[in-house]
Amino acid sequence: MTKWTVPSTGDIFGMAEDFEKEMNVDNFIDECFDPVTKPLHYNTGGVECIDYIKQVLGTEGFIAYCHGNMIKYQHRHRYKNNPVEDMDKANWYMQKMREAMKEIHK
């Protein structure tokens, strides 16, 4: 880890830019979160929202939940600014649904 000291020129703004480049906060967030598979606002508190939903609903209820969300995203994609992202979300829910179905139908 870099030890940061104020330069003799007193240029703390340049120092802040260097710090931002080293920390690369935007890239860190981009690597850890994804608007389709791991939204930032669904990953607080150490438990992913989707995992909690599955635990509460049980496998059958979770399958129905995923199916409903898949339908929702397929329906609304044409009304959104980023239709590809909504179709990616529909696909993500379909994958979650398939994974849960495999737990039942082995």
From CA 99, how far away is CA 14, in angstroms rounded?
49
Nearest 5°: the CA angle 71, 76, 82 is 120
Q: Is the pLDDT of residue 26 over 60?
A: no
What amino acid occupies position 83?
P
Please report which confidence band the pLDDT of residue 1 belongs to, taking 50, 70 and 90 as the band edges: very low
CA pair distance 84, 64, nearest whole angstrom: 23
CA dist., res. 77 & res. 85, Å (int): 8
| Per-residue pLDDT at 49 | 84
* pLDDT(25) > 70: no
Whether the CB-CB separation of 85 and 35 falls below 8 Å is answered with: yes
pTM value is 0.62
Residue type, 23: M
Model confidence at 72, pLDDT cuts 50, 70, 90, reads very high
